[in-house]
Structure 1
Amino acid sequence: MRVALLFIDGVGVGRKDPAVNPLAERGHLLSQFSDAPGPPLPEGGRCFPVDTTFGVPGRPQSAFNQTAILTGEPAPVLIQGHVLGYPNPPLRRLLAERSLVQRLLARGRTATFANSYAAPYLDALKLPRRESTSPPEFTFPPGVQRRLRPSASTLAFAAGKVPLRTLDDARADEGLTHDITGDHALARGLSVPQRTPEEAARIFWRVAEGMNFTFFEHYLADEAGHARDFGAAFRALDTFDAFARAVVAMRPADARVLICSDHGNVEDLSTRSHTLNPVPVLYFGPPAAEVEALATVADVGRTVLRWLDAE
């Protein structure tokens, strides 16, 4: 069995109100609403709205809930709080000890991260990476380098000692830029291929070949939510939707696809803050009783572990 997890930051289940929710004007996979039915999902897909708060006071944040997804553990409950942005020391310890990547590898499974990063960024964070023969894309001034923090996803793979992909891999069609098409990276002066979402989906499944678990993350929707920028939200959501649809359409018979987020944000552009809304978890694949029990974002990680017999 193979499992593909497409993660998109900051997309919740909100009201079908086009004045505040860009998903209300689209028939996207993630156009799921609290007050109206969403569009039918292709390929027999199913949607399960899940909790992001864990009953812990405060607004759900990326560090805690991404850690919950990537460990299968209720991180906000264990550490009693919500942390902005990047994992703090307690979350780093949890990822080091309970990363689902580490646990999969310990049971003889294989895992890979489809995203590609600039080698100087990974080196500055002292994260394991694949070999890169290209000259460094840039250098960090010392002050900037000291402020860099690793994400939950990179820490989860580092815990399993899985080398992360560099932009050399993106250029060799062995990895993807976080924005899927390469446009965002090109605008920042990085040398990467420009792709359609459908081309990116083909590369995703090439990367996933022979892997039990393949992960991809996209965070531009969350940035658009914080900026309350409808244009940026439409661009991010349209691109991710085209990519996700192509991934689902190309799904091999032995693969299961999960699409999830960590907390709400872009579904309510009346505020810059994260929301308390549930998030949609979409499932595409053969009948699986485990998805019926999805209740929180941590259950996404637990489900991956159950499917791959590594719980």
Structure 2
Amino acid sequence: MTEAGNSRIQSEAVRVALLFIDGVGVGRKDPSVNPLARREHLLSRFGEGSGLPLPGSGHYHPVDTTFGVEGRPQSASNQTAILTGDPAPALIQRHVLGYPNPPLQALLAERSLVKRLVAAGRSATFANTYPVAYLDALKLPRRASAEPAEFTFPPATLRRLKASASTLAFAAAKVPLRTLDDARGGAGLSHDITGLRAQHRGFSVPQRTPEEAARIFWRVAEGMDFTFFEHYLADEAGHAQDFGAALEALDTFDQFARAVIATRPEDARILICSDHGNVEDLSTRSHTLNPVPVLYFGPPAPELDALATVADVGRTVLRWLAVE
């Protein structure tokens, strides 16, 4: 980007919100296998190009998830691509499932878009909250909590514990992660948005409607240049081939996303994206080779027409916030 382009973006006082949902691709409009075909969701985008118009002049862009690398796209490598803006699977020549391996960890430590934003004087925050015990076990930076660790991990579990791409991206910039204390205080969100899933797992967090969660999201985002939220239950439902769980996760995320969009501050740009396909084809437990939808809500952004892969989502965040 030119110096003039950087100055223009800075003068516009842009801030960016990224809502990430794991495992949602652009599939067939077939309600027998695709739960998105049973609903009129924001993410109900289909291979033949169909889908209802998005609210508020929103725009839809399908992007590649394979990077030309053999095999099925996976969470660790493609989330690293999103959170660095770099073509992670192509760089390491493989897809990595679950949690980042050492090469991906190194890439996040060096190239995290959060690290680059903070180094350039921008502010960033992660809206999700985590148990203190999880963050401390992985030695991840966190905000202060008035309550002690909710539990302790058995030694065998502790040895298997791994950090996600998102937590590593923020840890690379030493941005403190939010705890369940923040969820209780209205300063953060549980990964399931409503808190019900967390309650069922024994955590003391309040139950909220998706609309209430959206208000908290913008409260968290106040004064921040970049705010990130992730939701991974759709991917879990896809692996389980569970239509009921898929619809529940997609319904909740859609209500939350619509409320976030409806209350968007004028200076904010919203991106919604996924990392790979899965839940759009419940005929299989595996990830798909389908493209994923990138949705945009905000002032005109014709540059998004050039989006090609999920890595371009991260590059776009950096560009909008004038960080190269």
Same fold at TM > 0.5: yes
Q: What are the superposed Cα offsets for residues 76-103 of structure 1, whole Å, 9 maximum, x if unpaired?
A: 1100000110000000000000000000
Q: Does 1:259 align with 2:272?
A: yes
Q: Does 1:250 align with 2:263?
A: yes
Q: Does 1:152 align with 2:165?
A: yes
Provide the rounded CA distance (Å) in 1 between the counterparts of 2:21 and 2:179.
Answer: 20
Provide the rounded CA distance (Å) in 2 between the counterparts of 1:121 and 1:262.
Answer: 24
- Pairing partner for 2:249 from 215, 220, 236: 236
Provide the rounded CA distance (Å) in 2 between the counterparts of 1:36 and 1:61.
Answer: 24
Provide the rounded CA distance (Å) in 1 between the counterparts of 2:247 and 2:262.
Answer: 22
Q: Does 1:100 align with 2:113?
A: yes
Q: Does 1:65 align with 2:65?
A: no
- Scaled by the length of structure 2, the TM-score of the pair is 0.95
* Secondary structure, counterpart of 2:61 in structure 1: strand
Q: What are the superposed Cα offsets for residues 111-170 of structure 1, whole Å, 9 maximum, x if unpaired?
A: 000000000000011100000111321111111011000000000000000000000000
* Cross-structure match for 2:58: 45
* Secondary structure, counterpart of 2:219 in structure 1: helix
Residue segments in structure 2 that go unaligned for 5+ positions in a row:
1-13
How many residue pairs were aligned?
311
Provide the rounded CA distance (Å) in 1 between the counterparts of 2:55 and 2:49.
Answer: 18
Matches within 5 A, 1:1-311: 1-311=14-324
> Residues 16 and 36 of structure 1 are in contact (CA less than 8 Å); yes or no, is this contact kept in structure 2?
no
Identity among equivalent pairs (%): 80
Q: How far has the Cα of 1:230 moved from its partner?
A: 0.1
* Secondary structure, counterpart of 1:16 in structure 2: coil
Provide the rounded CA distance (Å) in 2 between the counterparts of 1:290 and 1:143.
Answer: 48
Q: How far has the Cα of 1:39 moved from its partner?
A: 1.1
Provide the rounded CA distance (Å) in 2 between the counterparts of 1:123 and 1:35.
Answer: 47
Residue segments in structure 1 that go unaligned for 5+ positions in a row:
none
Provide the rounded CA distance (Å) in 2 between the counterparts of 1:75 and 1:135.
Answer: 37
Provide the rounded CA distance (Å) in 1 between the counterparts of 2:141 and 2:148.
Answer: 18
Provide the rounded CA distance (Å) in 2 between the counterparts of 1:259 and 1:12.
Answer: 12
Q: How far has the Cα of 1:35 moved from its partner?
A: 2.2
Provide the rounded CA distance (Å) in 2 between the counterparts of 1:172 and 1:133.
Answer: 11
> Residues 75 and 276 of structure 2 are in contact (CA less than 8 Å); yes or no, is this contact kept in structure 1?
yes
> Which aligned runs of 4 or more in structure 1 are off by greater than 4 angstroms?
none
- Scaled by the length of structure 1, the TM-score of the pair is 0.99
* Cross-structure match for 2:4: none
RMSD, matched Cα = 0.5
Provide the rounded CA distance (Å) in 2 between the counterparts of 1:34 and 1:4.
Answer: 26
